Amino acid sequence: MTVRAADVVVTGLGATTPLGGDVASTWAGLLAGESGIGVIDEEWAGGLPVRIAARLRVEPTEVLDRVQARRLDRCEQIAIVAAREAWADAGRPEVQPERLAVVIGTATGGALSMLGQDDILEASGVRRVSPHTIPMLMANGPAAWVSIELGARGGAHTPVSACASGAEAIAMGLDLIRLGRADVVVAGGTEACIHPLPLAGFAQARAHSTRNDEPLRASRPFDTDREGFVIGEGAALVVLERAGFAAARGARVHAVLAGAGVSSDAHHITAAQQEGQVRAIRLALASAGLDPHEIGHVHAHATSTQLGDLTEAGSIAEAVGTHPVVTATKSMTGHLFGAAGAIGAVAAILALRDQVVPATVNLDRLDPEVKLDVVAGRSRPVALSAALTNSFGFGGHNASLVFTTG
């Protein structure tokens, strides 16, 4: 790997997902084509039109101290779990606290705590509400708690841009290092909002799959029979470093974060626009100094909605071309909203490392309007030097990242 001192490199990876409690098990699950989607068997789901979700494979309370876990929202718990793994994977860099920053995106923040504490307030009165309610529900809680965990004094930031949040967080980490404001940044996304209200809302919007009798087959990006995404929960974080700083301490480098592009549609609150997506992709390529033909792999946002998948397929074809090998891992993990872009980044980095692209499961019949080389059936070995990841969110948020082998 050839890396310049001014480059921004990835030295640590951490994740907890519906496929596993760490990066290794999550990656193994993706390569094997496993699904983390299952039936919600709690009583509260009985009357809902949606009764499936992709829940964490390993509960964070099995990892965290009991007292600490009780004071944290679920999205904060899993952010800390992922941060600990990423930090350990990076070799626990010795960096001045003022040169260490944290950027963790989320779409809903502590939604579970807010809704749960409201239920307690209504049922039992104000004296039963937890004194930890506000730190548990605030969207910046995950970034704040991880900054406390690591002693990061270079800033604790929280992009809140729906399903683009995790990718925007990584893009912000790139900017912080390129601007000379930090030497090391822990960046990514976290989400935990499997609850009756979000499920009901997405069902009413006809965005969520209602294939309740076939949960393993419910998420099917780019397939002709796709009908909506499946809600998921999880977190993924990466450790970014100025390459010169990483080299000086002899750090192992997973990949180079070569570029990022962020745009907004200013068009519609939920309907994606191809022009904005194309602009984000082209900005990422320009930031990386790469031509479209140099991208060998695209990790698609592809949530399994009718319009969304077609819009992105057109954006990829226009901005990059039809040559890259494409995958959509939400077919296995479900849609992790604010964490989705970070999970995609980890998957793309590992695809570069291992020179293999996971298959998109449930892709029985490729939509004829999708003019892309989407991997189906089984993982495909591919010679790769550069990969692109896409993340698009309600509100018209678009974020693309480019990773290279150096």
User: Residues 195, 254, 297, 335: which is the catalytic one?
Assistant: 335
**Separation of CA 56 from chain center:** 14
Quick one: how many helices (H) and strands (E) in the chain? 13, 15
Q: How far apart are CA 367 and CA 312, in angstroms?
A: 13
- Contact between residue 39 and residue 47 where contact means Cβ atoms under 8 Å apart: no
- Contact between residue 356 and residue 327 where contact means Cβ atoms under 8 Å apart: no
Contacts with 54 (C-beta within 8 Å, 6 or more apart), sequence order: 18, 35, 36, 37, 38, 219, 230, 231, 232, 233, 234, 333, 334, 335, 336
Q: State both tokens at 290.
A: 């790469």
254 is annotated as an active-site residue: no
Spatial CA neighbour of 319 closest among 360, 275, 352, 375:
275
Q: How much is the CA Rg of the chain, to the nearest whole Å?
A: 20
163 is annotated as an active-site residue: yes
User: Residues 163, 193, 254, 299: which is the catalytic one?
Assistant: 163
Is the Cα torsion angle 238, 243, 249, 254 positive or negative in sign?
Answer: positive
Helix (H, G, I), strand (E, B) or coil at 225: coil
User: Residues 157, 254, 301, 397: which is the catalytic one?
Assistant: 301
Contacts with 225 (C-beta within 8 Å, 6 or more apart), sequence order: 364, 365
- Contact between residue 44 and residue 196 where contact means Cβ atoms under 8 Å apart: yes
Tokens 């470093």: give the residue.
241
Give me the active site residues, please: 163, 301, 335
